[in-house]
């Protein structure tokens, strides 16, 4: 199944599965705002050992967001039973054939094979994890969103809940003011344009975004200090040209982009 666009989000049903041991509660506001761009969170489950104190920050927000906690005892020290429980539930949900995609919220590479298996069934997989997430898990998803971005988008929420950081993560999460925007990969974007442009060098912006995500699931304009891909393009007028053009198939208009060199 192809990636869903925001226009088709109302018909897209998603299963949201959260690994509480590897996701801080401070992302919850930004997480579900982000998921709403891609579809309806029909199922929202979170996995962990709720008898332990380190998940206290999650307990405070479960009811507000209608997230179902799934209890999983740690039967053996050093073995992560939570991962197994989440994977088993994911497969059970897969075979109901009621979902168009899955949102896997974790920075744990153990879910790499799960993401790949769900995609083999034609479902879209959205991954959510910290920037330290191993690249195999990132690449196994159709799209991967770093949770540091979500924390930045939910800055006001973080201020209101200063104790919301998950005690299971001794490493302090980067605060919005501390994050440094990465350098935008303009050369990579230019190469993608060259690969898919028409005879005049133009590419519809939506098609460009889809192809970039296929090649780099973790690509996100917000990583480079821009709200949208179009803003990133506009910020590099010496490299790209942006123009609104008519779409013959729909009769409407859309943004098109081409490399500046193609305009010569």
Q: Is it true that domain 186-263 has CATH number 3.40.50.2000? A: no
- Label the pairing between strands 240-246 and 253-259: antiparallel
Q: Which helix (H) or strand (E) holds 28?
A: helix 28-35
Q: Where are the domains of the chain?
A: 6-178, 186-263
Spacing of C-alpha 253 from chain mean position = 28
Give me the half-sphere count of Cα atoms (radius 13 Å) on the Cβ side of residue 185: 15
What is the reported pLDDT for 166? 44
SS3 assignment, position 215: helix
The CATH architecture annotation of domain 6-178 reads 3-Layer(aba) Sandwich (3.40)
What is the reported pLDDT for 164? 42
What is the reported pLDDT for 169? 44
Residue 210 in contact with residue 124, Cβ under 8 Å? no
Distances (CA, A) of 108 to 19, 59, 130, 135, 140: 9, 21, 9, 10, 12
- Structure tokens, 18: 């959260």
What is the reported pLDDT for 153? 58
Q: Which helix (H) or strand (E) holds 156?
A: helix 155-160
What is the reported pLDDT for 83? 87
Which ranges of the chain have pLDDT less than 70? 1-10, 74-80, 152-180, 262-264
The answer to whether domain 6-178 and domain 186-263 are alike in fold is no
Distances (CA, A) of 59 to 50, 53, 56, 107, 213: 8, 10, 5, 20, 34
| Angle at which helices 81-94 and 112-120 cross, to 10° | 0
> 50-71, pLDDT tens digit by residue?
988 889 999 999 999 999 999 9
Query: CB neighbours (10 Å) of residue 73?
Result: 12
b/e burial code for range 166-187 (CB count within 10 A of at least 16 → b): bebeeeebeeeeebeeeebbbe
pTM of the model: 0.79
Q: Which helix (H) or strand (E) holds 40?
A: strand 40-48
- Structure tokens, 205: 């912006």
SS3 assignment, position 64: coil
Residue 257 in contact with residue 212, Cβ under 8 Å? no
What is the reported pLDDT for 78? 45
């Amino acid at each position: 199944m192809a990636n869903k666009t925001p226009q088709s989000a109302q018909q897209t049903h998603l299963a949201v599965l959260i690994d509480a041991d590897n996701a801080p509660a401070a992302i919850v506001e930004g997480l579900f705002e982000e998921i709403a761009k891609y579809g309806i969170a029909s199922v929202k489950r979170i996995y962990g050992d709720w008898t332990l104190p380190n998940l206290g920050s999650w307990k405070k927000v479960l009811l507000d967001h209608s997230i179902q906690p799934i209890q999983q005892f740690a039967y053996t020290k050093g073995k992560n039973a939570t991962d197994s429980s989440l994977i088993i539930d994911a497969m059970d949900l897969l075979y109901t054939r009621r979902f168009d995609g899955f949102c896997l919220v974790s920075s744990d590479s153990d879910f790499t094979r799960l993401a790949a298996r769900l995609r083999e069934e034609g479902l879209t997989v959205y991954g959510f994890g910290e920037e330290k997430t191993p690249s195999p898990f990132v690449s196994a998803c159709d799209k991967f969103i770093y949770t540091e971005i979500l924390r930045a988008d939910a800055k006001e929420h973080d201020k209101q809940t200063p104790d919301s950081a998950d005690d299971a993560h001794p490493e302090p999460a980067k605060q919005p003011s501390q994050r440094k925007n990465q350098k935008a990969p303009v050369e990579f974007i230019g190469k993608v344009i060259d690969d898919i442009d028409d005879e005049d060098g133009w590419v519809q912006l939506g098609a460009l975004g889809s192809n970039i995500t296929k090649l780099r699931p973790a690509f996100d304009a917000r990583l480079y200090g821009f709200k949208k891909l179009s803003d990133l393009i506009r910020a590099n007028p010496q490299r790209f040209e942006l123009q609104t053009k008519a779409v013959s198939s729909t009769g409407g208009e859309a943004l098109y982009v081409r490399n500046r060199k193609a305009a010569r």
